Structures are given as structure tokens and as C-alpha cells.
Amino acid sequence: MAKYFTDVSRTFNEYLLIPNLIKRTHTPDKVSLETPLVRFKKGKKSDIYLKIPMLSAIMQSVSDDRMAIALAKEGGLSFIYGSQSIEDEAEMVRRVKLHKAGFVESDSNVKPDATISELLALIESTGHSTTAVTDDGSAHGKLLGLITSRDYRISHVDMNDPVSKYMTPIEKLICGSTDLKISECNDLIWDHKLNTLPIVDKEGNLSSMVFRKDYEAHKENPNELLDDQKRYLVGAGINSRDYEERVPALVSAGADVLCIDSSEGFSEYQKDTIAWIRKKYGKKVKVGAGNVVDAEGFRYLADAGADFIKVGIGGGSICITRETKGIGRGQASAVIDVAKARDEYFKETGEYIPICSDGGIVYDYHMTLALAMGADFVMLGRYFSRFEEAPTAKVNINGSYYKEYWGEGSNRARNWQRYDMGGKAKLSFEEGVDSYVPYAGLLKDNVAVTTYKIKSTMCNCGALSLPEFRKKARLTVVSSTSIVEGGAHDVLVKNNQNNH
């Protein structure tokens, strides 16, 4: 006879926090959201700490190098998606590690014989009015000049004219060298009243650009997530099929941590993957595993050597695993169960293995609930997919802007490795959908609001750190009527723009 879990499978929406005494010392500015990313022994510290408990999901529509840089600036971490070629994923990791704050790789570049018509089409696609003119039209070709919207009047030019006719040639440009610090570049910008400073190497090839408008962003961010060489931290997704080739490439590129990307992690395939990594690299290479939804799954991956374990099956906004396969568990119940197993494992072995709540987040307060229930951090897909830095296209639908967002189990992603069960190398059926999400602007602005909400709630519960929050949190199950009561009701709302 089948085994039955008698407890109801619950979601975050079914819980509320009960406030504790707020003391005068409980203010958001005193709250720390720092949290360990990878396993550590009792009395020791984790090798990697997050400044904020937020990871971006291992998805094509969420985590590329641009997202990784933006999130690391705020203290979180991205896992570059693994459903691409080994070479392309390694190159994304490499770009994050080589990135220097304030030095921007030019994404608007043309050859000198490109027409004004072609230039305008490029500006339309990138939204950037400053374009580098290089000999081969690439971001790192020999710099010949710059052309901006101030160099021509559309009504007075022939659309077939070459950009070389209107550009400011290299001889008339002030450029910086690749050995300059960002502070020195900013001095050149201010001293010469520039809007853009091209950075070129000794051979005259374009390296990057520094912009006046980014000056404020160049100031040191106290939450930046950096390694010991002052480079941004970045994670990378792997699978249980080609890890013998993919892992060495990612480690060589500089990935700080890996994570096996799978819809179901309670698997011998994941155990074998971790075992291979341990045999080749020992404990030097950090690797997360998952996803699981109960204590048994957690224990299996913990014993296998996972450095952190992801929790959640079927709760993602674009995931239809529960619909197609009838497998999963309410995200709140899964986190509560696995958090308990994590604490028991720590008492038994003296090793603490952080857990990640992955999926089921609809509102910002759901992140806070996940942390209260025991998650060390959360992994977010839809949340980050809405931002400017997400790698997808921004589209206008009926006057409103949206970003494309699709699941790794969708036919568009075709990430069959994520759902691999040892069969043919293909996606047999879809476990994700293709969708749109409302465009929400810059990551920095949104993350600032979300983390302030988390800190404020922690103060309501009398906690100034995440471990203290987990210890002091008091939660109550709410009825369906209570859920309705919790929102605006019995009034006509003037402008219903909830920040999700």
C-alpha cells in the first residue's frame, strides 16, 4: 500500500507571521541579511557568504553574465544557465570574472562603411545613442571613431551615407588606456567634460567604455559580492550528463560555485555527479544539488556531499510538473520539512548544509516567510526575469512593456538534461510554459525595495539577523477568508499596482 503524508501540503500564501515585541534597537538599518551559501563545520565559517539571501534561477530567460554582474553588485548571486554549449556558458562566467565595475563592454558597434540607416536600426535595438566605429564592427575591434546623436541631423542626412562621414575620428577623441583605474577614468571625464571615455589597449583596439552617467554607480557598493581578488562572484549550472566536460571548463573560467540543475534531485545521477567532482577536485569545488521536497531527499544529497540543497518541485510560476506528472509538494510544507532535517543533520554530524527555497514566490513577503521557515536563501526566476538586466527581449503589448519568460522545461528552452531520467537525449513532453511578465525596471531599484521589506518584517518579529529570525519567528496558518481579508477589500481601489 502507498505511503500517505497525513499533513496538508501548504503554500506560502497560507501562512502569516505573528509579530513579537519591537525594541528600540530593532530598526531596518541594523538588520543583517548575510547568510552562508555552502556547507561548513560547527565552529567554522562558510567559505562563501551572500550579503542578501537571493539567487537568480538557472534559466535561459533569467541568468546570463549581465544579470550576474547586476546581482553581485547588490550582494546576491546568479547561476549562469547551463542549457547552452559548454563554451558559451564558460564564456559568460569568464566575462563576469573579468568585469571591472564601471568599465562597460560596448554593445553598439558598427563598421565605418555602415550606413546611417543601419546605424539607426542598431540604436533602435540597443537604445544607446553612442556607437563605437571599429574596423570590423565588433566590440573589441580597432577603434576608428565614435558617432553620437549629436553628430548628425536625421532630416539633413542621406540614409545611405556611411557613418565615417559623420563620426568623430579617433584622432579627435580623448581615450583612456587599459591600465587606468575607474577613478582615473572619471577624472578624465570630468576634466575634459566628456560624456563617454573609450578605453583602448596598446594596439588601439577598443576594450570598453566608461560613461559619465554611471559615475554614481562607480562609487563603492558596500554589498558587492566579491572574491579575494575583488572580482564578482558567479555561479554556474551543470547537469548530470556532460559534467565531465562541463565542470572543468566552468572551473577554469572562474566559476565560484556550481549547482546541478534538475527538476528532481533525489537521484543516483546527482550522487554520481557529486562523487565525480569530489574525486577530481576534492572539496575545493563547491556544488549545490536538488531539488528535493522532504527529509529523505535532503539526507540523500547531504550524504552524497552536496554543499547546499535546493527545495521545491512544481512551485515555479512557469512550471507545470505538477500538472503533467502529479509530482511535487506545497512549497511551505517542503521548506519546513527540509529545514527540520537540515537542523537534525547539523546536530548529528556537526555539519551545516544551507538550504535554498526554489519556487512558490509570488509576493515579496513570501521570501520573508521562506526565510522564517528555515530557508537560508531563496532562488528566484520570475522575480528577476522582469528586470532590465534579464537577457530576454522587452516587448510592447497594448501600450505596456513586458519581458519574455519561459521555463527550462518548455519546448522553447528544450533543456532535456534538466528532466533527464536516463532515456533518450530529448524532451519527451513539456514541463514548463512560455510567457510574458510585466517589465519592472532596474534590478537595483527593485532589490532595494524587496530587501527593505524583509528587514522591516524581521524588525516586527524582533530579529536583526536571519538565524535570530528563524529562532524567533512565530507563524500561523490562515483560512481562505483570512487571505481575502489580508488584501484591500470592500473598497474601490483607485490605482491597483501591487509590487510583486
At 217 the pLDDT is: 56
CA distance 227 to 311: 27
Identity of residue 473: A
Contact 200, 210 (CB under 8 A): no
For the chain, which residues score pLDDT lower than 70?
A: 101, 214-220, 316-323, 409-433, 488-489, 493, 495-500
72 within 8 A of 95, measured Cβ to Cβ: no
Q: What is the pLDDT of residue 330?
A: 93
- Taking each helix axis from N to C end, the angle separating 268-281 and 295-304, rounded to the nearest 10 degrees, works out to 30
Residue 146's alpha-carbon distances to 102, 109, 211, 436, 450, in angstroms, are 19, 9, 13, 36, 39
Question: Among candidates 306, 299, 367, 304, which has minimal Cα distance to 337?
Answer: 299
- Would you state the cell numbers that stand for residue 81, as one nine-digit string? 544557465
- In order, the DSSP letters of 219-248 are SPPTT--B-TTS-B--EEEE-SSSHHHHHH
The residues annotated with a catalytic role in the active site are 319, 418
Residue found by looking up cell 562566467 in the block: 93
pLDDT at 416: 42
Instruction: Show Cβ contacts of residue 25 under 8 Å, excluding neighbours closer than 6 positions.
Output: 464
Residues listed for the chain: 500
pLDDT tens-place string over residues 51-103: 999 999 999 999 999 999 999 999 999 999 999 999 999 999 999 998 876 78
Cell 583602448, located at residue: 200
Spell out the residues 6+ positions from residue 5 whose beta carbon is closer than 8 angstroms to its own: none
Sheet holding 434-438, edge to edge: 394-397, 400-406, 434-438
**CA-CA-CA-CA torsion for 432, 436, 440, 442, nearest 10 degrees?**
70
With vertex at residue 497, the alpha carbon angle to CA 496 and CA 500, rounded to the nearest 5 degrees, is 130
The three grid cell numbers given for residue 269, joined into one nine-digit string: 545521477
For residues 162 and 115, the answer to whether their CB atoms sit within 8 Å is yes
DSSP string of 51-72, one letter each residue? SSSEEE-S-TTT-SHHHHHHHH
Report the alpha-carbon angle 71-106-59, nearest 5.
Answer: 35
Question: What cell numbers appear for 317 in the block?
Answer: 510560476
Question: For residue 126, what pLDDT is reported?
Answer: 77
The pTM (predicted TM-score) of the whole model is 0.79
DSSP string, 410-468: STTT--GGGG--SS-SS--S--B-EEEEE--B-HHHHHHHHHHHHHHHHHHTT-SSHHH
Residues in Cβ contact with 314 at an 8 Å cutoff, skipping those fewer than 6 apart: 320, 321, 322, 327, 328, 329, 359
